[in-house]
Amino acid sequence: MRDDKVIAPALLDWYDRHARVLPWRVPPGGPPADPYRVWLSEVMLQQTTVAAVKAYFQRFTELWPTVQDLAAAPDAQVMAEWAGLGYYARARNLLACARQVAAEGGFPTTRTGLRALPGIGPYTSAAIAAIAHDAPETVVDGNVERVVARLFAVNTPLPRAKPGLTALAETLTPQERPGDYAQAMMDLGATICTPRNPACAICPLVDPCDARAEGIAAELPRKAPKQPKPTRQGTVWVARSGDAILFEERPTKGLLGGTLAFPSTSWDGRDLPPPGPADWQEIGQVRHVFTHFTLTLTVLLGDLTGNPQRGHLVRLDRIDRDALPGLMRKVWDVAQAEIAA
DNA sequence: TTCCAGGAAG
DNA sequence: CTTCCTGGAA
């Protein structure tokens, strides 16, 4: 019978030598990390890769070094700085959370207290408690699910396996250095125990790993088959008026909520009229893949011949491509190419 | 070109 | 259980 007690010490020993160096990280065994920086990085890392987050984290901490600074920022500036990172509800929750924390004089120190804040769920609450306060909380992200599924050779497919994997993960969390341990688990998943070709030959946990023993490490965790994505259609209007272009804020709830956009139909079958009178010309199409559907938008360009029905005009030299979400950047690029031609 | 990884909210 | 995006790998 395997002794699970060897797992945490072996992993911590590996982490002391191989911890990833990241802008929001404190070295192994170092002083506790700043809760604000841990929180900001973890929220950005929700559903986002480390590589994509780095530049955004640098920029945010430069603009807003403390949670009080962020709390005082205007909504539109935060949305613009977040543009391109995706899942824009995170940005709205980020600001709501910052304001609540600033009003309360600082971050809660317990997982339960953190869990009550906007945008902080089971993963992020455990991560902040463990990393910033060295609390013995069990952090379970996609990396940890994979490592644990392999260590215990769990064949149940995700997402059904999740509660069991969490329970198994909890049995491994040490009382010593739980913060470093949490980061070590995630580093192991990100660099050694990878989804496709796990580097078992250099893994510090190769010895106790059941999946490795059974030769099924690369097949775990198993996943339920996924449904095909439907395709949706829509129309987007790039409306010119002299040296200005028509934009509008999307409603705060729903897809691309609160972001800056070109006026468009609703994409769910409901037809909306053009934002104003113009001789609309079709100039191309853009394709964009969301989590649950693929969207094809037909791009129309036109010069307004009357007052727009909605939105507001932005002068060409004031348009900031980087303040647009990915889909609207594609639309803008199509329009730019046409305007230049 | 398609496939896939990656948490929270309602 | 459904709704939320993007970029990097295959």
Q: Which domains does chain A have, with CATH numbers?
A: 4-219 (1.10.340.30), 231-340 (3.90.79.10)
Q: How sure is the predictor about A244, in pLDDT bands with cuts at 50, 70 and 90?
A: very high
- Residue of A181, A180, A158, A156 lying closest to A169 (CA atoms): A181
pLDDT at A324: 93
For strand C, the positions having any atom within 7 A of a protein Cβ are 1-10
pLDDT at A275: 95
pLDDT at A199: 94
Q: Nearest-CA residue to the C1' of B4?
A: A195
* CB-CB neighbours of A54 under 10 Å: 15
* A339, pLDDT greater than 90: no
- Tokens standing for A143? 């990396």
* CB-CB neighbours of A41 under 10 Å: 24
Which residues, 6 or more positions from A203, have their beta carbon under 8 angstroms from its beta carbon? Answer: A188, A192, A193, A209, A212
DSSP character at residue A201:
G
Q: How sure is the predictor about A192, in pLDDT bands with cuts at 50, 70 and 90?
A: very high
- Decide: A80 and A60 in contact? Cβ < 8 Å: no
Q: Provide mean pLDDT across the span A77-94.
A: 94
Indicate if CB(A138) is under 7 A from strand B: no
Q: Nearest-CA residue to the C1' of B9?
A: A119
* CB-CB neighbours of A79 under 10 Å: 21
What's the CA gap between A262 and A273, in Å, rounded?
13
Considering only CA atoms, give the Rg of chain A: 24
Q: How sure is the predictor about A97, in pLDDT bands with cuts at 50, 70 and 90?
A: very high
CA angle A107, A111, A112 (to 5 degrees): 95
* A270, pLDDT greater than 80: no
Active site residues per annotation of A: 42
* CB-CB neighbours of A17 under 10 Å: 8
Q: Which residues touch strand C (CB under 7 A)?
A: A 47, 49, 51-52, 83-89, 159, 196-197, 253-257, 288-292, 325-327
**Protein CA A88 to sugar C1' B2 (Å):** 25
Indicate if CB(A48) is under 7 A from strand B: yes
State the helix-helix crossing angle for A7-18 and A178-191, rounded to 10 degrees. 70
Q: What are phi and psi of A32, to 5 degrees?
A: -60, 145
**Protein CA A332 to sugar C1' B3 (Å):** 27
Q: Provide mean pLDDT across the span A310-329.
A: 93
Q: Nearest-CA residue to the C1' of C1?
A: A159
Instruction: Please write the tens of the pLDDT for every residue from A24-52.
Output: 999 998 888 999 999 999 999 998 999 99
What's the CA gap between A58 and A24, in Å, rounded?
9
What's the CA gap between A260 and A256, in Å, rounded?
9
Which residues on adjacent β-strands are paired with residue A247?
A: A312
What percent of chain A is predicted at pLDDT more than 70? 100
Of the two residues A159 and A144, the one the predictor is more confident about is A144
